[in-house]
Structure 1
Amino acid sequence: MDTRLLGTTGHEVTEIGMGTWNVGSDWGDVSPAEGRAAIRAALDAGVTFLDTADVYGGGQSEELIADVVAEHEAFPIIATKAGRGLERHTADGYTRESLERFIDGSRDRLGVDALDLLQLHCPPTDVYYRPEVFEALESLVEAGKIDAYGASVARVEEGLKAIEYPGLETVQIIFNPFRQRPAELFLEEAARRNVGVIVRVPLASGLLADALDSESTFPENDHRNYNREGDAFDVGETFAGVPFERGLEAVDALRPAVPDDWTMAQFTLRWILDHDAVSTVIPGSTNPDHVRQNVDASSLSPLNPTQRQLVDDVYEDYIRDEVHHRW
């Protein structure tokens, strides 16, 4: 699999990484055995970048990664996140003391002296206007507890503000054929500043995997059930913010662009990778076959102009009015 530089971290990471939100929580019941099998499949396929967070299953995702990495004798870059574990998720909670506490917990669960990459976990917008938060992260680098830091952002504006801090090395952001706004300015600015870009929610919670239809149902503990209106967290994390039925219509319109021997997920991942500013994409799956298929997207040819135009047409006709102004 091809690799790309992750900003100025010095790490080359595979174009397709793995997100592990769904092996921890919020995607229905996933057993530890299923989670381990999915992570193992990613490492077997050559993936060298894993993304997690301290709140995924109350630390379960980090623990599963540590178990599989140890038995696999692999050395992936592991990125985790901190901040969502605050009792009250406010900007005032993002202190050096709280961040250090979260970091120490992740270090313990992952079994490492220093975290490869620590990302602020979609903090309140005000955090990006508090230099002391980023000074705290710098001090934790100096203390040897983290090697690098970045931010996972909810909105393009937050990403643009985050990359103004010279020590920040990565931004994680939602970007896919249903969330195209980052391509207008953010990707260009990130590339200009040599900031690594990690793309999350690439498959729009399964919509862009063409895995859902109007009859699909979801367990009570699946965010695609309980967060469709943003009742638990930002609605942009669920189906990329696209109303479910509208998303199904858009997928139908997009299907003619997908080659017969590609999956819709591969087509989507290839569209993302065709943007050079992207460092790595982190689809999540608990199905080892799907993990391997996602990895194969790295070896596919770039989309042709006709395919790219159809993606843009579908976005304009079905999606833009729903999401573009919001994130």
Structure 2
Amino acid sequence: MQRRTLGRTGREVSSIGLGTWQFGGDWGPVADEDAFAVMDASAEADVTLFDTADVYGDGTSEALIGRWLQANPGSGVTVTTKMGRRAEQTPDNYVAANFRTWVDRSRTNLQQDTLDLVQLHCPPTAVFSDDAVYDALDALVADGAIAAYGVSVETADQALTAIARPNVASVQIILNAFRLKPLDAVLPAAREAGVAILARVPLASGLLSGKYTTDTEFAPEDHRTYNRHGEAFDQGETFSGVPFDDGVRAAQEFAAALPEGVSVPQAALAWVIAQDGVTAAIPGARNAEQARLNAQAGSLDAPADLDATVRDLYDRWFRATVHERW
């Protein structure tokens, strides 16, 4: 497993992390024992980065990770969580008092006195330019409630605004073979500033798992059903904002371009972490086998011609519909 520095935190983390949105139930139900099996398998495969948020299952994901950490002292896992979506998404709610309340709740859920890294969870654009927001975050670092902070963003412009701030340690942004805009300016800026890039939705909500057809259906409680067109939150979070049928067909072309014996999700993850400036990709996993297979991508080289294939697919299938939106 490749190891990389988590931006301005100075911590070393695995290049493949574990996203845990699925532990909260927004990808369909996940039993506690399955969540623990996923974390066990990830740790056994040298994954040392778990990503969560205080709204995944209203804290369920954080609490499961907290229980796992207590059962596995000395695991060496860095936990990144997120805050800011427990209230209405207006700039007025991104204030010190709310930050304190949200952080204290996450500290309880995760059973940690000091949170490793807290990220603002895709706040309104105005928040990224508010000096008071960063002053409040700096105060949480100063008093030991959090060790470092970063941001999760919806757009490249938001990422660039955050990267310019001196104490932002990381930026979490959607980056995968079907969403290439961060390659234009965000990754170069992050490299220059020493800011970590965490690539979220690296498998395009499963499109790059190679499992789906245009007839695939998802459970009603799965966001890939109820948010397919942005009904509940930003459409870019679901299938990276690309039309489902187009995504399936592009994924089929992606698969067809791979050498024999190379799996679609592992190739897709290997491509992401091969991008200069990416610290880690954070795919989710619903079972231990998925977690093990995802982790293996951290020690693989992307196929030699894959980058050219990815850029061709993007230009033909997605650039016109997604590039300027995010």
TM-score (norm 2): 0.98
Structure 2 residue aligned with 1:20? 20
After TM superposition, give the deviation of residue 282 of structure 1 in Å.
0.4
Letter in 2 for 1:315: Y
1:6–1:13 contact (8 Å) kept in structure 2: yes
Instruction: Give the CA deviation at 1:172.
Output: 0.3
Q: 2:82 matched to which residue of 1?
A: 81
Letter in 2 for 1:325: E
- Structure 1 partner of 2:284: 284
Tell me what 1:325 maps to.
324
Farther off after superposition, 267-276 or 187-196: 267-276
Contact in 1 for aligned 2:258/2:303 (Cα 8 Å): no
Counterpart for residue 35 of structure 2: 35
**Partner residue of 2:315?**
316
Distance in 1 of aligned mates of 2:280 and 2:309: 24
Match of 2:44 in 1: 44
- In structure 2, what is the Cα distance between the partners aligned to 1:260 and 1:67? 41
RMSD: 1.0
User: How far 1:255 sits from its partner (Å)?
Assistant: 1.6
Q: Letter of the aligned partner of 1:15 in structure 2?
A: S
Kindly state the Cα deviation for residue 122 of structure 1 after the two structures are TM-superposed: 0.4
Q: For residues 204-283 of structure 1, what are the structure 2 equivalents within 5 Å?
A: 204-283=204-283
Separation (CA, whole Å) in 2 of partners of 1:301 and 1:198: 19
CA separation in 1, counterparts of 2:146 and 2:217?
A: 40
- Checking the alignment, whether the CA contact within 8 Å between 1:40 and 1:72 is kept in structure 2 is no
Q: CA deviation at 1:71?
A: 1.6
Deviates further, 259-268 or 13-22: 259-268
Which secondary structure does the structure 1 equivalent of 2:215 belong to?
Answer: coil
- For residues 79 and 325 of structure 1, what CA distance do their matches in structure 2 show? 29
- In the TM superposition, residue 166 of structure 1 has moved relative to its aligned partner by 0.4
Q: Which moved more, 1:34-43 or 1:185-194?
A: 34-43
Contact 2:202/2:283 (<8 A) preserved: yes
Per-residue deviation, residues 43-75 of structure 1 (Å, max 9, x unmatched): 121110000000001111011111112223313
Q: How does 1:184-203 map to 2 (within 5 A)?
A: 184-203=184-203
Contact 1:66–1:111, Cα closer than 8 Å, also in 2: yes
Task: Give runs of ≥4 in structure 1 deviating > 3 Å.
Answer: none
**Once the 2 structures are TM-superposed, how far is the Cα of residue 77 of structure 1 from its aligned partner?**
0.4
Aligned-partner residue type, residue 110 of structure 2: L
Write the distance in 1 (CA, Å) between the matches of 2:302 and 2:19.
Answer: 23
SS at match of 2:80: strand
Query: Does the CA contact (< 8 Å) of 1:208 and 1:264 recur in 2?
Result: yes
Letter in 1 for 2:278: V
Is the 1:116–1:146 Cα contact (8 Å) retained in structure 2?
A: yes
Write the distance in 1 (CA, Å) between the matches of 2:53 and 2:25: 11
Q: Which residues of structure 1 form unaligned runs of 5+?
A: none
Equivalent residue number for residue 295 of structure 1: 295
**Matched letter for residue 321 of structure 1:** A
**Which moved further from structure 2: 188-197 or 61-70?**
61-70
Distance of 2:299 and 2:129 partners within structure 1: 40
Show the counterpart of 1:53.
53
Q: Which amino acid aligns with 1:249?
A: R
What secondary structure sits across from 2:167 in the alignment? coil
Amino acid at match of 1:179: R
- Matched letter for residue 260 of structure 1: E
Shift of 1:256: 2.2
Indicate conservation of the 8 Å contact 1:37/1:286, yes or no: no
Partner residue, 1:112: 112
Cα distance in 1 for residues equivalent to 2:287 and 2:322: 29
1:225 Cα deviation from its structure 2 partner? 0.2
CA deviation string 1:190-228 (max 9, x = no partner): 000000111100001100111211221111110000001
State the match for 1:181 in structure 2.
181
Q: Secondary structure at the match of 2:151?
A: strand
Tell me, yes or no, if the aligned pair for 1:250 and 1:319 is still in contact at 8 Å.
Answer: no
Give the 3-state SS of the residue equivalent to 2:286 in structure 1.
coil
SS of aligned partner of 1:120:
strand
How far does residue 185 in structure 1 lie from its aligned partner after superposition?
A: 0.8
- Unaligned stretches of 5+ residues in structure 2: none
Report Cα offsets for 1:96-130 as digits up to 9, x if no partner.
Answer: 00011000000011111110000000001110121
The residue matched to 1:162 in structure 2 has which SS?
helix
Q: Give the letter aligned to residue 59 of structure 2.
A: G
CA offset at residue 299 of structure 1?
Answer: 1.4
| Residue type at the aligned position of 1:262 | V
Task: Provide TM-score, normalisation by structure 1.
Answer: 0.97
Q: Tell me which amino acid in the other structure corresponds to 1:261.
A: G
| CA-CA distance at 1:303 after TM superposition | 3.1
Match of 1:136 in 2: 136
